[in-house]
């Protein structure tokens, strides 16, 4: 469970910034999108801790409040220019790591196939 939590925590920042790069969103909307778009594989248990950290680092800001489609008054978050740059760095790192992992896993798959071949 610890490994799963660490991996999810590592990608959560990237996912929140990705969603905010598409449009301004409120917390419930971000949480719902992460759950829905990941096929309920990921969830954002305590979004505000993450939001405050992203705000503190200058990557997002509390842009404005307005009534959401459900009629409730919501705080909308917006990605900053620094957040867009940071997201680009995160995506580059993510792709480099996942490509490296895929190469290793591909080698393992190929070795298994050779062992199983008659």
Q: How many CB atoms lie within 10 A of CB 94?
A: 13
- So what's the pLDDT on residue 104? 87
Contact 55, 13 (CB under 8 A): no
Q: Biggest alpha carbon distance in the chain?
A: 66
Which tens digit of pLDDT belongs to each residue from 30-81? 999 999 999 998 888 889 999 999 999 999 999 999 998 888 999 999 999 9
This model's pTM is above 0.85: no
| Gap between the Cα atoms of 76 and 22, Å rounded | 13
109: confidence class by pLDDT, cuts 50, 70, 90? low
Residue 108 has pLDDT above 80, yes or no: no
| Gap between the Cα atoms of 8 and 62, Å rounded | 24
23: confidence class by pLDDT, cuts 50, 70, 90? very high
Residue 118 has pLDDT above 80, yes or no: no
């Amino acid at each position: 469970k610890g490994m799963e939590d660490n991996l999810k925590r590592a990608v959560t920042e990237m996912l929140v910034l990705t969603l905010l790069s598409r449009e301004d969103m409120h917390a419930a909307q971000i949480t719902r999108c992460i759950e829905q778009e990941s096929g309920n594989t990921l969830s954002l248990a305590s979004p505000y801790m993450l939001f405050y950290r992203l705000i503190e680092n200058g990557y997002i800001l509390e842009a404005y409040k307005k009534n959401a489609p459900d009629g409730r008054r919501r705080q909308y978050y917006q990605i900053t220019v620094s957040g867009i740059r940071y997201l680009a760095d995160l995506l580059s790192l993510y792709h480099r790591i996942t490509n490296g992992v895929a190469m290793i896993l591909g080698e393992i798959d190929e070795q298994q196939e050779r062992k199983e071949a008659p």
